[in-house]
Structure 1
Amino acid sequence: MRRLLALALVVSGAVLSGCAPTRAADKPHIVVTTNILGDVVQQMVGDDAEVTTLMKPNADPRSFEISAQQAARISEADLVVANGLGLEEGLQQHLNRVAKAGGKVFAAGDHLKPLPYSSGDAAGTPDPHFRTDPARMTDVVNALEEALSGIKGIEQPAVAERAATYRNRLEQLDREMGESFASIPSAQRALVTNHHVFGYLADRFKFRVIGAVIPGGTTLAAPSAADLHSLAEAIKDAGVPAIFAESSQPDRLVQVLAREAGIDVDVIALYTESLSEPGQDAETYLAMMRTNTNRITTALTKTTTHQRGTL
């Protein structure tokens, strides 16, 4: 009986220790700031590395905060992957600290030719929303392949194979988006959003960016009455049938603008800053882009914009 009891205690201890949330000591550790890049990195490393994504689903990359434990994991990581171009405003001090200490920080924005913001307070500064263009995301994958291959414990041939597979998926996505957007009449290929986020998509697929409710690159700013009035006039002139709002942000300002413009426009939620929870419409980068493409195409293929009376 004592022998059976001792065996039971050993088995019980093994089960409990197996359930503890400990990090695999034999795998390299990669910390990624945003969940969009976290998904891309995971696709490329598979099970060869442990990937920690700091940003939760449906969060804002400019304002989310990390714990002291997460900050420590950044310092201990074999590689830190960030968007760069000023996107992670709240994490920049941590990224700077790692770089100053000699750690490896991969900033995706350093590996492509960024577009500048065209208007607002951020005019002329680099736009960090390159993820809305799958071709530029391919540039990021190419650079990531090299960075990941240089980490001890990650096999270069396996990374190369997974990177090639993911590039093919990005190319397929790019074709699907082009085909879908081609169905939108040229006069209606115009975008109005809650903040400037579609510069790269517009550049890639020939849209006109009419403007944004928040005239800048950050979701943390607020528009003035003059900003809203100017954008309302631009919307009237362009006759857009829909305004697009980030799914993680309240659309109150967009609804106010719709009323201010005095036209019957739909407010459509898009995923532009963050992935969704698993099982929802934007659980991966590829799913996010397909969802946005379908919603943009559906909204902008409306044939008429019904004028409302002045409020």
Structure 2
Amino acid sequence: MTHHSEARRPATTVAGVLALVGAVLFGLTACTTPEAERPGVVVTTDILGDITREIAGDQADVTVLMKPGADPHSFGISAPQAAEIEQADLIVYNGLGLEENVLRHVEAAREAGVAALAVGDGVDPLTYTSDDMAGRPDPHFWTDPTRVRTAARLIADRLVEHVDGVDASAVRANAARYDARLDDLSTWMSDRFAAIPRNKRNLVTDHHVFGYLAQRFGFRVVGAVIPSGTTLASPSASDLKSLATAIERAGVTAIFADSSQPDRLAQALKRESKVDVRVLPLFTESLTEQGKGAATYLEMMRANTTAIADGLGAPAPTPARPTAGTERKTP
């Protein structure tokens, strides 16, 4: 009996090992399957990408095509990125003519049946009023946080209604939390801009990008170095001369140029004008890498608000006074 029992022992051991390996493999498969099956959302610009990630949370994998610091008017995509657009469960894009080199890929995917959201169409877009752009839609709606609140709701609605596999309650909760933060941002911006004297609320930028901010917070857009809504255009000598005259008449003290673009044109305009004009950087059309000043939409807007308020002569905000009983006594 002893002899037969020992002969069977290796077979029993092998069977146990195989069972254990099978259990481990099953466990690994069970753990990784939900992750692999998460829906995929492709977003064209990094600003919308940040907003979409806040709304989607862990309910979808969000892929952003545009790199930090890129120009949305001119960035292109690779063949693998084009394939990602075609395979997405949802495409989120700005629209209104912004992504000039990517829109054909988006349109092709839409025609093939991929769900897509043109966010700009749903935020009550403005049109340009300058002579060369009159009547064309202005795609830079993100400079108005109130319209971004609308954009965030549109993204949440589209995720819930058209993307299988997301938890609607989780998406709605994410959207509500982010909406509260956007509301706080809008209130804070209003307070900071209110400190700028009315006669100094004049904006000159490197191209027409702050129309929405101007409408929301009561600024006057004197002009742009590039008299266009796209950075792909360029000004003529007469354009620079006309804008220099307008700057002198309005008493403008600062020109704002995008931090990701060389400010050569703004510096040239500064030389054309007879007033002392500073050229100050803003984050206008793209986020930055982490730690570079505008890694999120909220961080970008706070940095821009501070730069505009300081550049146009707003007094520094008064530090919050300590509440009663919290004052430190000098030892």
Same fold (TM over 0.5): yes
How far residue 62 of structure 1 moved from its aligned partner, in angstroms, is 1.0
Q: Is 1:72 the counterpart of 2:83 in the alignment?
A: yes
Tell me if structure 1 keeps the 8 A contact 2:56–2:156.
no
Query: Which residue does 1:99 correspond to in 2?
Result: 110
CA distance in 1, matches of 2:238, 2:131: 12
Tell me the SS of whatever aligns to 2:154.
Answer: helix
Tell me the SS of whatever aligns to 2:105.
Answer: helix
Q: Is 1:122 the counterpart of 2:119 in the alignment?
A: no
Query: Which residue does 2:153 correspond to in 1?
Result: 142
How far residue 302 of structure 1 moved from its aligned partner, in angstroms, is 6.8
Matches within 5 A, 1:230-309: 230-301=242-313
AA paired with 1:54?
A: L
* Residue among 151, 161, 171 paired with 2:173: 161
CA distance in 2, matches of 1:122, 1:61: 18
* Residue among 199, 204, 215 paired with 2:227: 215
Residues 164, 143 of structure 1: alpha-carbon distance in 2 compared, 3 angstrom cutoff? same
CA distance in 2, matches of 1:186, 1:285: 27
How far residue 121 of structure 1 moved from its aligned partner, in angstroms, is 2.2
Matches within 5 A, 1:6-25: 24-25=35-36
How far residue 200 of structure 1 moved from its aligned partner, in angstroms, is 0.3
CA distance in 2, matches of 1:296, 1:105: 35
CA distance in 1, matches of 2:117, 2:290: 26
Tell me the SS of whatever aligns to 1:137.
Answer: helix
How far residue 92 of structure 1 moved from its aligned partner, in angstroms, is 1.0
Query: Which residue does 1:182 correspond to in 2?
Result: 194
How far residue 31 of structure 1 moved from its aligned partner, in angstroms, is 0.3
* Residue among 29, 36, 40 paired with 2:51: 40
Could you list the runs of 4 or more consecutive aligned residues of structure 1 that deviate by over 4 angstroms after TM superposition?
none
Q: Percent identity at matched positions?
A: 55
TM-score by length of 1: 0.89
How far residue 25 of structure 1 moved from its aligned partner, in angstroms, is 2.2
TM-score by length of 2: 0.84
Tell me if structure 2 keeps the 8 A contact 1:190–1:208.
yes
Query: Which residue does 1:205 correspond to in 2?
Result: 217
Tell me if structure 1 keeps the 8 A contact 2:283–2:294.
yes
Query: Which residue does 2:119 correspond to in 1?
Result: 108
CA distance in 2, matches of 1:264, 1:52: 44
Tell me if structure 1 keeps the 8 A contact 2:193–2:314.
no
Tell me if structure 2 keeps the 8 A contact 1:123–1:216.
no
Tell me if structure 2 keeps the 8 A contact 1:62–1:88.
yes
- Deviates most, 205-214 or 144-153: 144-153
CA distance in 1, matches of 2:276, 2:288: 29
RMSD of aligned Cα (Å): 2.1
Tell me the SS of whatever aligns to 1:89.
Answer: coil
Deviations 1:52-109 (A, max 9, x none): 0000000000111111000000000000000000000000110110111111111101
CA distance in 2, matches of 1:118, 1:110: 18
How far residue 120 of structure 1 moved from its aligned partner, in angstroms, is 4.2
Query: Which has the higher Rg, Structure 1 or Structure 2?
Result: 2
CA distance in 2, matches of 1:112, 1:173: 18
CA distance in 1, matches of 2:220, 2:121: 26
* Residue among 127, 134, 143 paired with 1:132: 143
Unaligned ranges ≥5, structure 2: 1-20, 26-33, 316-331
CA distance in 1, matches of 2:300, 2:131: 27
Tell me if structure 2 keeps the 8 A contact 1:39–1:284.
yes
Query: Which residue does 1:152 correspond to in 2?
Result: 164
CA distance in 2, matches of 1:197, 1:253: 16
Tell me the SS of whatever aligns to 1:153.
Answer: coil
Tell me the SS of whatever aligns to 2:295.
Answer: coil
Tell me the SS of whatever aligns to 2:204.
Answer: strand
Deviations 1:139-184 (A, max 9, x none): 1111111101121111100000010011100100000000000010
Residues 302, 177 of structure 1: alpha-carbon distance in 2 compared, 3 angstrom cutoff? closer
CA distance in 2, matches of 1:232, 1:145: 44
AA paired with 1:161?
A: A
Unaligned ranges ≥5, structure 1: 1-9, 15-22, 304-311
How far residue 280 of structure 1 moved from its aligned partner, in angstroms, is 1.8
How far residue 301 of structure 1 moved from its aligned partner, in angstroms, is 0.6
